[in-house]
Structure 1
Amino acid sequence: MPTLRISNSGSALLLLAVLTTFMACAPKKSPPVPMDLAQESIIPIPVSVKATNSSFELTSATDIYVQGDSKELLKIGQYLADKLNPSTGLGIEVKSSNEAPAVGNIYLSIKKDAKLGAEGYNLNITPDGVTLEANAPAGLFMGVQTIRQLLPAQVESSSKQEGPWRMATGTINDIPTYAVRGAMFDVARHFFSVEDTKRFIDLIAAYKMNTMHLHLSDDQGWRIEIKSWPKLAEHGGKTQVGGGKGGYYTQEQYKDIVQYALDRYITIIPEIDMPGHTNAALAAYPELNCDGKARELYTGTEVGFSTLCTKNEITYKFIDDVIRELAALTPGPFIHIGGDESHVTKKEDYIPFVNRVQGIVLSHGKQAIGWDEIALGTLKKGAFVQHWADVDNAVNAVKQGSKVLMSPARKAYMDMQYDSTTQWGLHWAAYIEVDSAYIWDPATLVPGLAQKDVLGIEAPLWSETVDQIDEVEYMVFPRLPGYAEIGWSAASARNWDGYKKRLGAHGPRFTAMGINYYPSKLVEWKEDKGKKLKN
């Protein structure tokens, strides 16, 4: 058989042909463009940013690699891919690797470093690739939110957009200041669907918040199925403020919400308000009233008129059943027992009630949180107080060895109007413009409290005046990123002049995310450089 021989010149020609074909098929990647990482508008502001004045570009050859074959890390990688692919159209895949991948990729890895804690991360961006390291998976998830913000705003769109998709190069080292950083969603005054609640979770996750407080019961509605007391949801959940249809979550729906939050490293804190704010329960079960008579369902907005019968044993059987079922559905460590505005409960009845209910929560393996009024009682070990109004209660809680979750109504209530012209919201606590929402420090706001006494920050959204998710978004944005920064970033790193510039740069990002936000005149909102998002 004749042997095929290729001359040296033929070999060169063949090699050239192969290289030419490869280069023609390879994704086109622009030369690195000078970009300054220190000028990027990251919210919350990181602990440390060091720029190297170049750029990394995502291309169709880019993939996301995660260290090893951990299902949890693969899930985080897929979360990032799912955020990037709809807008970029790059078809980024998630793969496993025990070492840093080749040039042009993103690598997520665990590097044991106790200094980073559960949520800190190190992000290194070079023209050749992106490496995100953390001590724990939650830290990787927090770092992923930073990666999102370093890409052009249109990356948040749900439809394909035009690139290029560049990130400034350099290193970011970051760790949160407070352990708890969250928002409260009131689904009791007006009921919101599972889809709306997941939307709320996604929005707070984007700014590194890690808790969502669900206000599940109030005078106007009971929103969680309790199998041992079925009329709570079936009857107590049938209406809402203004007389609308109302609704409730089945236990399966609630578990779905909890898991959705956990996948985003957000802990759900469920609240069953008591002994006041209980008319929905009192309407469902007459025996919870001292006179044994069922109350009428309530659709107004007044507060302080209802109370459980604190001297009847059936009341504690009821509470034990509710907490038992709720604790079994909630993997997080906290159950919120409310305790606020119980104006018709005598103090001599209120204090032993709060003390006993804390014990019930403990008996089901959870820690109790309550509004600051519960500090009038004796706080059990592990109980926390949520400050909203009375500074004396907050100080009293600390004196009892507790820590305080900071939600001062005059600063942190997202249902407060921005000004007198705001369509939705109330103003009994204050008008809260974007600057007022940002310019305060949880460690110094209450005399007698220091940073060591503060568990964290939570921004509540009460829903008396809002019943659609776009109305919720308008009240929440643009204040929520500021609350997220207060909880994450050191007070020494924060100032209004710098923050409002970074916030203004997030205007196009809000638009790309489909957020209906309030365009405060105090902020110079950045335009999208004439680039309109494709629908």
Structure 2
Amino acid sequence: MRVLRRTLGTFGTFLGVLGVLSGSVSCTAAHGDDARPGDDPPAALAPFERLLPAPASARADGPGYAVGPGTVIHTGPGPDEDVRQVGELLAEQLRGPSGLPLPVVDGPGGDGIRLRIDEEAEGVGDEGYRLESGPGGITLTARTPAGLFHAGQTLRQLLPVAGPGTVPGGTVTDRPRFAYRGAMVDIARHFFTVEQVKRYVDQLAQYKVNTLHVHLTDDQGWRLAVDSWPRLAEYGGGSEVGGGPGGYWTKDEYRELVAYAGRRYVDVVPEIDMPGHVNAALASYAELNCDGKVRERYTGIKVGFSSLCVGKERTYEFIDQVLGELAELTPGRYLHLGGDEAHSTPAADYAAFMDRAQAVVGRYGKTVVAWHQLATAQPAAGAVLQYWGHDRTPAAEKAAVVAAAKAGHPLILSPADRLYLDMKYGLATKPGQVWAGLVPVKRAYSWNPGAYLAGVPESAVLGVEAALWTETIATRGDWELMAFPRVLGLAELGWSPAASHDWASYSRRLGAQGPRLQAQDISYYRAPDVPWQ
């Protein structure tokens, strides 16, 4: 999914996009300045007009509510622990910027911020909400705690970046366009700690992204402890691109991440890539190789050279034990099997292997997700395909994906020339790659997931996901620079109604997020065609 590509030649691909794409020409952190001398500062937007993602409906009406020292968060009359947890987290998120105490109390309460579950609430769906603000307080209403959480994230944007403030009077009624709004991070090429990934969860959840896909294994490293195969992490985790020390997560650390994300209504989707991208496993255990000999650890960035031994029964004992332990750790419904770039696995072997691997996922009560190459084999009933192709993907490959969608397999769209966050913004971007082309902020946003693949109706699209591969990314600063602000476009594409998608409007709302990103110490690329405030 990532370097199809490199066989085309990086230089040739790079030249091919220069005449087509207009990208930014500088790579600047949040405190850079793209303004020219004499430019007027961008006009400030009204609070409802700067919300990102854009809500389904927002109407200003009358005076608002001043959030101040006496403001209380009321979590409703019943002993609903989930609602109480939403209230506590919202208070935590608001206290730092506002400097207010914001106590959380049970009961319907009076003035203040009121959290309310109404299972019959109209126009909001399972994840949506209604936010009503007036002089007597703010009421957040949703059918589910997840909806209340998203309402709280909207409330955060209606308050100042720092200090107390007044939430304008009016009503926001909102719900997501797509059920799956995801971001993927690759901790296999370069290792990142759970703490760094938790930071990303917080950054994503405030913009209503609800899925974190973690690429846990690849040729360069195995990043999760497995009790039944301990050398996978202990030895296979000891390398990374460029020859660094690597690392891995313990099971307790993984559980901690899953729980942390869950409290923010973000599901974790773990990926164990197979039958290719497995050199770290082949270097850890000789018995996984057809010739019984261990491989050397790998620190480069080539793809497609490794494969599990499809003809060995020990291979299937391996995947059963690994996926079984992973399923036990993961409360969410999905396990991702990878399945791309298995160039060293003959097509018939690939199909046979994926049949058995998918059956293992089913036995553990999970739903298969795999990269779209699974369409060339036989996707299991209900399997979800993740499409990472791009404008130059061969028609036959696209046709297989379209046929799978028509057969009932939901699609997650991650087009590499739109949503691969490791693609450079422009010529001067220091980290990143170019095999899918330059991906400036406008290009990442300006497409319609519901009509992206000809022949695939919007109803077949489960959602969208922005992928951050880390061959060239080894630090938090580079991670955030490549993700932000493009991941905010992903958030809007996944949440907001199609009719609201407009670059002129979006770029102004994106520019209004600049102070918020800076206040959270998020490094981001100041695209010159965005009117940053």
TM over 0.5, yes or no? yes
Q: In the alignment, what sits opposite 2:132?
A: 124
Residue of structure 2 aligned with 1:476, choices 477, 483, 501:
483
Q: In the alignment, what sits opposite 2:83?
A: 73
SS in 2 for 1:40: helix
Give the distance between the partners of 1:465 and 1:168, measured in 2 at CA. 44
Does the 8 Å CA contact 2:384/2:412 hold for their aligned counterparts? Answer: yes
The one-letter code matched in structure 1 to 2:152 is: V
The one-letter code matched in structure 2 to 1:61 is: G
| Aligned-residue offset at 1:55 | 2.5
Q: In the alignment, what sits opposite 2:352?
A: 352
| Aligned-residue offset at 1:201 | 0.6
Give the distance between the partners of 1:484 and 1:501, measured in 2 at CA. 16
Alignment of 1:65-464 (within 5 A): 65-67=74-76, 68-97=78-107, 99=108, 101-103=109-111, 105-113=112-120, 115-154=123-162, 163-389=163-389, 390-464=397-471
Give the distance between the partners of 1:396 and 1:431, measured in 2 at CA. 29
The one-letter code matched in structure 2 to 1:89 is: G
Q: CA offsets per residue over residues 384-413 of structure 1, 9 Å max, x none?
A: 100002422321321332111100111110
| Aligned-residue offset at 1:38 | 6.6
Give the distance between the partners of 1:179 and 1:172, measured in 2 at CA. 20
Give the distance between the partners of 1:394 and 1:380, measured in 2 at CA. 14
Does the 8 Å CA contact 1:37/1:51 hold for their aligned counterparts? Answer: no
The one-letter code matched in structure 2 to 1:42 is: L
Residue of structure 1 aligned with 2:73, choices 56, 64, 69:
64
| Aligned-residue offset at 1:447 | 0.8
The one-letter code matched in structure 2 to 1:288 is: L
Give the distance between the partners of 2:197 and 2:263, measured in 1 at CA. 14
The one-letter code matched in structure 2 to 1:378 is: Q
How does the TM-score come out when normalised to structure 2? 0.89
Q: In the alignment, what sits opposite 1:45?
A: 54
SS in 1 for 2:526: coil
Does the 8 Å CA contact 1:72/1:137 hold for their aligned counterparts? Answer: yes
Q: CA offsets per residue over residues 12-36 of structure 1, 9 Å max, x none?
A: xxxxxxxxxxxxxxxxxxxxxxx99
SS in 2 for 1:203: helix
| Aligned-residue offset at 1:61 | 0.5
Does the 8 Å CA contact 2:62/2:134 hold for their aligned counterparts? Answer: no
- 1:467 equivalent to 2:467? Answer no
Give the distance between the partners of 2:351 and 2:214, measured in 1 at CA. 24
| Aligned-residue offset at 1:374 | 0.6
Q: CA offsets per residue over residues 360-385 of structure 1, 9 Å max, x none?
A: 10011000000000111111112110
The sequence identity of aligned pairs, in percent, is 46
The alignment of Structure 1 onto Structure 2 pairs a total of residues equal to 481
Does the 8 Å CA contact 2:186/2:216 hold for their aligned counterparts? Answer: yes
Q: CA offsets per residue over residues 464-518 of structure 1, 9 Å max, x none?
A: 1111112111000001111000001111111000000000000001001110000
Does the 8 Å CA contact 2:413/2:461 hold for their aligned counterparts? Answer: yes
The one-letter code matched in structure 1 to 2:339 is: G
How does the TM-score come out when normalised to structure 1? 0.88
Q: In the alignment, what sits opposite 1:533?
A: none
The one-letter code matched in structure 2 to 1:136 is: T
Q: CA offsets per residue over residues 402-447 of structure 1, 9 Å max, x none?
A: 1111001111101110011101111101111110000011111111
Does the 8 Å CA contact 1:372/1:394 hold for their aligned counterparts? Answer: yes
SS in 1 for 2:106: strand
Instruction: For CA contacts below 8 A with separation 6 or more, give which structure has more relative contact order.
Output: 2
Does the 8 Å CA contact 1:37/1:169 hold for their aligned counterparts? Answer: no
Query: Gaps spanning 5+ residues in structure 1: where?
Result: 1-34, 155-162, 527-535
Backbone CA RMSD of aligned residues: 1.3
| Aligned-residue offset at 1:113 | 2.1
Does the 8 Å CA contact 1:47/1:173 hold for their aligned counterparts? Answer: yes
Give the distance between the partners of 1:464 and 1:165, measured in 2 at CA. 43
SS in 2 for 1:116: coil
Deviates more, 1:124-133 or 1:399-408: 399-408
Q: In the alignment, what sits opposite 1:11?
A: none
The one-letter code matched in structure 1 to 2:248 is: Y
Does the 8 Å CA contact 2:48/2:58 hold for their aligned counterparts? Answer: no
Does the 8 Å CA contact 2:127/2:146 hold for their aligned counterparts? Answer: yes
| Aligned-residue offset at 1:330 | 0.1
Give the distance between the partners of 2:258 and 2:443, measured in 1 at CA. 32
Query: Gaps spanning 5+ residues in structure 2: where?
Result: 1-43, 390-396
SS in 2 for 1:504: helix
Larger radius of gyration: 1
Q: CA offsets per residue over residues 122-164 of structure 1, 9 Å max, x none?
A: 000002200000000000001111000111123xxxxxxxx34
Q: CA offsets per residue over residues 206-236 of structure 1, 9 Å max, x none?
A: 1001100000000000001100000000010
Q: CA offsets per residue over residues 253-289 of structure 1, 9 Å max, x none?
A: 1000000000000000000000000000000011111
SS in 1 for 2:450: coil
| Aligned-residue offset at 1:53 | 4.2
Shift of the 495–464 alpha-carbon distance from structure 1 to 2, 3 Å rule, reads: same
The one-letter code matched in structure 1 to 2:199 is: R
Q: CA offsets per residue over residues 82-103 of structure 1, 9 Å max, x none?
A: 1111222211100001x3x223
Give the distance between the partners of 1:396 and 1:415, measured in 2 at CA. 29
| Aligned-residue offset at 1:37 | 5.9
Does the 8 Å CA contact 1:38/1:49 hold for their aligned counterparts? Answer: no
Does the 8 Å CA contact 2:47/2:158 hold for their aligned counterparts? Answer: no
The one-letter code matched in structure 2 to 1:400 is: A
